[in-house]
Chain A
Amino acid sequence: MVEIKDLHKSFDDLVVLNGVSFSVEMGQNMVVFGRSGTGKSVLLKCLIRLMIPDSGEIFIKDKNVLNLNRKELNDLRKDIGFLFQGSALYDSMSVRENLEFPLIRNFSLEQDEIDDRVHRVLEAVDLSDAIDKMPSELSGGMRKRVGLARSIITEPKLMLYDEPTTGLDPITSKEISTLIVDLQHAFKMTSIVVTHDVLCAKIIADCAIVLDGGHIVHEGTIEELLTAEDPFLKNFFSDEVINNNGRD
């Protein structure tokens, strides 16, 4: 489904990604761990060509992402959902308009079908009452859920989550994680989840990689990583378990 080969990305003289390679199979949920500022968001943005890597190759559904023309890129993007770190809801639009936006603009659907989908995804994230609210009236957890609803409304095959639970209280973050897994099953999606929330990862992950210093320093199942004797991992996870929330 997704294959990344030897990705490099720097900003001026700051090297962020220094040869990252991995692959994700269809239907798999891959978690990417890493401290703040290790380039997790940069990695996700390269995947969907919001940022252009300096070198390396990215294949999604066997398409070479970096070589696609505008039209092909847009077609590919229709099959990909992206949940941004801060939800990125459109401030000037109501929840309904936020959800309709990608549909109206890119899919030729009847208004009935659009309404139907809006109601379905809002039900899935348990926010049917909020349909006519503005984003500024929603709490952080609700915004995350609307963001989630907006990214699955196009029924993507691949979902990219950038820290879906960061900044939320433990209960809400558990709810969101469970929601992600449920949606995963309901819509049969493949996903890549960037996080440093171990609890969230335990609920979601089939496999995980750990990013540090521009490289992948470990990969395996989440249990393997948590029980590993490696000092870096022990340190990383003990810190993260104590304060796995509220960081950026």
Chain B
Amino acid sequence: MKFQKDKLFAVTQHRLSSFFETLAGLSIFSIRFSKEVFLPPYEGVEIRKHMIELGMKTLPIVGVTGFIIGLVMTMQLQPVLQRFGAEAFLPGAIAITIVRELGPVITALIFAGRVSSGIGAELGSMRVTEQIDAMEVSGVNPFRFLVVTRVVATTFILPILTVYVIFISLVGSYIAVVLVQNMTWEYFTGRVIFAVEFADAVPGILKTFIFGYIVGIVGAYLGFNAKNGTEGVGKASTTSVVASSLLILIFDMVLVKLTLWLWPTVK
């Protein structure tokens, strides 16, 4: 019994210390990023290539998810609002929920699952097969060529994806509305535009830059520092998903609090 307790303690201690190690490493890596991102040569071509590649890779899955979320949310909310006699608020309520929270967070989480693991695996395998060393030896800064380009690409592609997801989920929502009642698309969008304010849209989109950065930097950090052969590559890839998803949710919590404080919704 005593033995087991000790073991549990040791395992917990190990987990905790490796968690904080990762966090410290990630912070140092981030600082290095912010130093190197502004130095030439600017890899415009590489960045564009990654943006297109990552965007294309996630476009179908986030589109389908967004559509279904919009549809299902509306199907759920409609009878509830009806019960309170507040049906007229349906398009507005859905739109605000999607723009402020669901659109950004769900897109970011799916993006994390697809892209963070991909970057972790890709850079991890380049690390363990010495491709990163080879790059360094040939006089190319691998951090700038591999890490900076990918992180910049994820930071700027996620907001674009999010806008697209928000649009698709509103289409899903509209379809759910039309299934049970008559409403023109013009009226629906009119209600949406009337309801959604600056203080809803801008923070919602702005925080996706941060989520995109998290996805890129976590995958790149774990991949760039992968060890122990193929096993290490697998670990970099799976850990990236868990770590970036968790960080996205934590940052979301903080940012929601912050935006509510900066732009109070009730005046």
Contact = CB atoms under 8 A, between A and B. Distances in A.
Contacts of A48: 137
Contact of B133 (A78, A84, A89, A106): A84
B129 interface: yes
A88 B139 contact: no
A82 interface: yes
A77 B138 contact: yes
A80 B134 CA distance: 12
A88 B138 contact: no
A86 B129 contact: yes
A90 B131 contact: yes
Nearest to B41: A105
Interface in B44-94: none
Interface residues of B, number: 13
Contact of A82 (B126, B131, B137, B140): B137
Interface in B125-147: 125-126, 129-131, 133-140
Interface in A78-116: 78, 80, 82, 84-86, 88-91, 101-102, 105-106
A215 interface: no
Interface string B104-120: 00000000000000000
Contact of B139 (A84, A89, A105): A105
A172 interface: no
Contacts of B129: 86, 88, 91
Given A77-B139, A105-B138, A50 B133 contact: yes
A88 B131 contact: yes
A218 interface: no
Interface of B: 125-126, 129-131, 133-140
Of all A-B residue pairs in the complex, the 8 with the closest CB atoms, nearest first, are A102-B138, A88-B134, A88-B130, A74-B139, A106-B139, A84-B130, A82-B137, A105-B140
22 contacts: A48-B137, A50-B137, A77-B137, A77-B138, A77-B139, A78-B139, A80-B137, A82-B137, A84-B130, A84-B134, A86-B129, A86-B130, A88-B129, A88-B133, A88-B134, A90-B134, A90-B135, A91-B126, A101-B138, A101-B140, A106-B140, A154-B138
Given A74-B139, A86-B129, A88-B133, 16 more contacts: A45-B133, A77-B137, A77-B138, A77-B139, A82-B137, A84-B130, A86-B130, A88-B129, A90-B134, A91-B129, A91-B131, A101-B138, A101-B140, A105-B138, A106-B138, A106-B139
